[in-house]
Amino acid sequence: PPSPALLVLLKRDQSLAIVDPTTLKVVGRVPAGPDPHEVIVSPDGGTAYMSNYGGGAYNTISVADLVAQKSLPAIDLGILHGPHGLYFAGSKLYFTAEANKVIGRFDPSKGKIDWIMGTGQDRTHMIVVSNSLDRIFTSNVSSGSISFMDKVTHPAGPPPGAPNGPPRPPRGPEWKQTVIAVGNRSEGFDVTPDGKELWVANAQEGTISIIDIASKKVTQTLDANVRGANRLKFTLDGKRAFVSSLSGADLAVFDVGSRRDIKRIKLGRGAAGILMQPDGARVYVSCSPDNYVAVIDLKTLEVVGRIDAGQEPDGLAWAAWQ
């Protein structure tokens, strides 16, 4: 297959399509397991991981060798069900497990889950991990909230309140959660490239909540008219935000600086996954109800191509290997 390649996850076909971004043609397919929703690629670009969601029915993450174009043994999550959001950080795979209200971490080098943390929130759905690995963000759809998970370390030294007491050994890190109320059915979210803000689209109200990450507070709620919002993604320069809706015909484009809606791009009966091309020239959008992926020029904000990858495209990813 070509490198780099665009990956399109197809829910109804239960497969992963490998697309040549130059010709916009499918050049390979790999099985994706039951009800696949999200896809992420390993840091070396050669392995794809796909969450088998099923609304809590399944407990596996499918794995594919992209170079050989073949399935690898799936990750068995055991008692954890409903994996959805995926994120690679620090060579490990982070995931959400909705049915258990937890997030977890899988170590590919050891082939096992090495960390789990509960959120106590309903439908913990999407996940983002900071580059420094000390903060995790999740959206909790049915609770209408965003979780901030912060790693806290305890160095060796005297116990609190007893400065002259015997030193205590260093304790392992623990995580502290801050739950921030936003709007009903908060699902698609993204962090600005400068790391200062988090924007989340609230599907029921059609609003966008803007959270100041330093203070962990909602600073503004935009009356954005994005009911049914599914995903929200920033351009690589952080100047624009794109919001897709599964129940609307338009892809909404917002100017981040002015907080204003600057364009609605007509795509069809609805849209889901959004992916920015690494060079910042294009954005790809899964038009799930109409079974194609739209290719949009980020300068003109016009549709310039169409990828007929298969039935019900959703998750998108970019893969590049040597």
Q: Encode pLDDT of 33-53 as tens digits.
A: 999 999 999 999 999 999 999
CA–CA gap between residue 199 and residue 310 (Å, rounded):
31
Q: Is the separation of the CB atoms in 232 and 240 below 8 Å?
A: no
* Strands laid side by side in the 112-118 sheet: 83-89, 92-97, 102-107, 112-118
pTM: 0.94
Note the residue count of the chain. 322
Q: What is the pLDDT of residue 1?
A: 76
Q: Convert the pLDDT of each residue in 270-297 to its tens digit.
A: 999 999 999 999 999 999 999 999 999 9
Q: Is the separation of the CB atoms in 258 and 239 below 8 Å?
A: no
Q: What is the mean pLDDT of residues 115-126?
A: 97
Residue 131, SS3 per DSSP: coil
10 Å Cβ neighbour count for 288?
Answer: 24
Q: Does residue 221 carry a pLDDT above 80?
A: yes
Q: Convert the pLDDT of each residue in 144-164 to its tens digit.
A: 999 999 998 876 666 666 667
Upper half-sphere CA count for residue 281 (Cβ side, 13 Å): 5
86 closest CA partner among 134, 36, 51: 51
CA–CA gap between residue 238 and residue 257 (Å, rounded):
9
> Where would I find the beta strands (DSSP E) of 108-196?
112-118, 124-129, 135-140, 145-154, 171-181, 186-191
Residue 56, SS3 per DSSP: helix
